[in-house]
Structures are given as C-alpha cells and as structure tokens.
Structure 1
Amino acid sequence: MIKLCGFALSNYYNKVKFVLLEHGIPFEEVFVLPSQEDTVLEHSPLGKVPYIQTEHGDLCESQCIVDYLAARFPDKTIFSVDPWEAAKERELIMFVDVHLELTARNLYKEAFFGGTVTEATKGRVEKLLAHHLAGFKRIAEFGPYLRGERFSVADTAGYVSLPLVGMATQTIYGRDFLLDVGIDWKSYVKAINDRPAARRVTEDRKAYIAASRPA
C-alpha cells in the first residue's frame, strides 16, 4: 500500500491526498513534518513533504506523485484520456502551483505565522502576482471548475491553494488579489466541497489545526 507522508496543514500534501481519495486509491497516512534531519532526508532529498513510500521506493514533489499515480493506476483516469485536455489540466496545475501559490508563499511568514516580510519582497510579489493572475484568468474558466463544467485533476490543486493566495494577499495588502481580478474563489471552493474527498481533506485539516492549538 502507498504511504503518504506529510501533515494535514500542507496544501501540497492535501493535493495528493485529494487525488488519492477522489479516485479510491488505497493509502496510509504517515505523519511527517518538514525537516533537515537524516530520518527525513533519506526519503525526501530536500526534507520537504509530501512524499510517498511505495514498494519501489520513495518519491517526492506533489506533481511528480500525481503523475506517478496516473501512470500506475490508468484505470482511475486521473487525467483526461484526451491528450489535449490532459495537457490543459497540467497547464492549470502549473499556474496554480508555481505562478500563483509559490509566488504568494513569500508572504506566508507574515500573513499566517506572525513573522515579518520586507517591503521589497511585498513589492516584488505584488508585481509578479498581478502579472501571473492576468495570465491565469486567460486560461481558467471557473464554470464552475477550472476547465469549465467538468471537475478535473486541476481542481485538486486549485482547491487547496487558491484560498491561500486570496487570504495572504488580503492580509498583507488589504485586498484579495483574486477577487480583484474577478476570481470568486470562495464560490469555487464551495462547489468543490460537494465532493466527499474534498470534505475529508478539509475536515482533516481543520482537525489538525484544532489539535495543534495550545490548551
């Protein structure tokens, strides 16, 4: 059985977990925090989560894991069977993961964890996100899903990461950059919440947060 290693607060962990749950792939969750300890580095070269353990060995990076699952379980049709649609799903995932979430991640220290971010960083991120969101709007349909009326694997990335972009920018700049460009991410998330796999991911994340709060 596949072991999914990480923790429920990680959006990339939850992206992989969403895929596993959505497609009924058996897996076991193993609690692991990011670390530079040898016990983690021997499985994940940069000490990041998520990573999976399989009978063939370890694999890290969420999109590599999703691609592996799609190849290992072709009957699950994780990506569209149409090559063009599958490519467009990957394109959307790239935009969400790299151009939006990883850019906004530079703000998280101050937005979510009580730290501070330099004004130079805030200015750089503001310009990058404005540019990246303009491009994202050109390819994302939100009808109600990223590819239109059909839920796809791209939505497993959108569901776990777009709220972070919206909340982080609201906290740092006093305005939600997604709403500014007409992306109603709350309605988008609400539509996906109808799926049992999505609800499970969210419930587990909330339970983790509640259990982590000081007594």
Structure 2
Amino acid sequence: MITLHGFAASNYYNLVKHVLLHKEIPFQENLVYPSSDELLAVSPVGKVPAITTAEGFELSESSVICDFLEDSYPKKPLYPELATERAAVRRIMKIAELYFELSSRRLIPFVFSGAQAPQVIKDEVRQVLTRGIIAMNRLCKFSPWIAGDTFTMADIYMYYVATIVHIFASSQLDWDVLAEIDGMKAWNDTMKQTDIAQAIEADRMANMPEFMQHVQAQIKAANAK
C-alpha cells in the first residue's frame, strides 16, 4: 500500500490525495510537517507531499508523484490518449504553476503573520497573476472541464492551485482572481461539490488548527534566533 506523507492543510498534498482517490488507489496517510527529520527521510528537501510505495520506493514533488501514479495505475486515466491533447493539459498545469501558484506563494508569510505585504511585492504578484489570467482565458475551455469534455489532471491541479490563489489574493490584494477567468467560478463550484473534493476539504479544515499551531511555533522559533 502507498503511504502519503504530509498534512491535509497543504494544497500540494491534497492534489496528490485527490489523484489517489480518483484512481481508487489504496493508500494510508502519515501526518508530518515540512523540514522535520521524518519528512527529510523521504523527501530530499523536506517538502510535502512525498509517497512511499509498498516496495519501499520513495518519491517527492507533487507533479512527479502524479505522473508516477498515472503511469503505474492506468485505470481511470487523467491524461488524453493523443500526444497533442496531453501536451495541452500539461501546458495549462504549467501556466497555473508558474503564473498562479508560485506568485501567490510570495504572499504566504504575510497571510500567516496577519501583516500586509509591501506594495512592491503586491505589485509584482499582481503583474504575474495578470499574465496568468490572460493565458487561462485563452486556453481553458470549461466544456465542462478545463481542457474540454474530459476530466483530466489539469482539473485536479488547477482546483488546488485556485484554492491558494483565491485565499491569498483576496486577503492581500483584495482581488477575486478566479472571477477574471470566464467560466472558472462555475467550474470551481462544480469541482467543490464532488464527493472527493468535499472529503478532502473536511480533512483540510480538521487539520488547520494544528497546522497553524505548527506555523506559529516555527515563527516564534525563528524570531528567537
């Protein structure tokens, strides 16, 4: 059985968890937080998520894990058969990562501390997000799924990226980024109503108080140095 290492408040962790549940792959969860010795034993840079297979194979980085699961468990595929269509799905995921996920994460320290980010950082993040919005409006189909009429890895990936973008951009930039992409709000609501997404969200909310305690302890320890 696969062991999924990480914590339910992490969107990257939940991305992999959604793939496991969608493909009906048996797995167990191991609660562990970033940079701990336990996590470093299975993830070289101490990031979540990571997995360990029944054979003892260890793997980290969410996109790598998702591709491994797709290759190893072909049931209920999350990529189209045609190479061009697979590339189109991956392009949406890469743009979501580069222009939504990574830029929004620059706001994390300020969201967790309750402070406002410096204006220069807000302006830089807004500029990158704007480029992502333009690209997504050109590429996403929402008919009814992101890449067309078939549910793909891009739907799962974007759903958990959108969670981060919505929370951080709303609190720091007073900006509903999802509303800027035609069809994304309705699609996001559809995703949110699925059984898998609701189960993952319940686990995320249950883990959040403990995770925030961990974050505050890390901040306190850093300030004490």
Q: Which residue of 1 aligns with 2:195?
A: 196
* Distance in 1 separating the partners of 2:176 and 2:149: 25
Q: Which residue of 1 aligns with 2:154?
A: 154
Structure 1 unpaired stretches of 5+: none
Tell me by how many angstroms 1:183 deviates: 4.1
CA contact (8 A) 2:96 2:161 kept: yes
Q: Which residue of 2 aligns with 1:88?
A: 88
* Distance in 2 separating the partners of 1:128 and 1:213: 28
Distance 1:48 1:213, change over 3 A: closer
* Distance in 2 separating the partners of 1:212 and 1:64: 25
CA contact (8 A) 1:4 1:29 kept: yes
* Distance in 2 separating the partners of 1:63 and 1:77: 15
Tell me by how many angstroms 1:32 deviates: 0.9
Deviates more, 1:23-32 or 1:140-149: 140-149
Q: Percent identity?
A: 33
Question: Between Structure 1 and Structure 2, how many residues are aligned?
Answer: 212
CA contact (8 A) 2:50 2:61 kept: yes
**Equivalent residue of 1:197, what SS?**
helix
1:39 aligned onto 2:28 = no
Q: How does 1:21-40 map to 2 (within 5 A)?
A: 21-35=21-35, 37-40=36-39
Distance 1:117 1:197, change over 3 A: same
CA contact (8 A) 1:162 1:185 kept: no
Q: Letter of the aligned partner of 1:39 in structure 2? A: E
Tell me by how many angstroms 1:148 deviates: 2.6
CA contact (8 A) 1:16 1:66 kept: yes
1:121 aligned onto 2:139 = no
Distance 1:177 1:195, change over 3 A: closer
CA contact (8 A) 1:2 1:27 kept: yes
Tell me by how many angstroms 1:213 deviates: 7.3
Tell me by how many angstroms 1:160 deviates: 1.3
* Distance in 1 separating the partners of 2:49 and 2:199: 18
Distance 1:142 1:76, change over 3 A: closer
Q: Which residue of 2 aligns with 1:173?
A: 173
**Equivalent residue of 1:4, what SS?**
strand
CA contact (8 A) 2:22 2:76 kept: no
Tell me by how many angstroms 1:209 deviates: 2.4
Q: Which residue of 2 aligns with 1:61?
A: 61
**Equivalent residue of 1:117, what SS?**
coil
Provide the TM-score with structure 2 as the length reference: 0.85
Distance 1:113 1:97, change over 3 A: farther
CA contact (8 A) 2:96 2:132 kept: no
**Equivalent residue of 1:75, what SS?**
coil
Distance 1:19 1:113, change over 3 A: farther
Provide the TM-score with structure 1 as the length reference: 0.89
Q: Letter of the aligned partner of 1:67 in structure 2? A: D
* Distance in 2 separating the partners of 1:182 and 1:42: 40
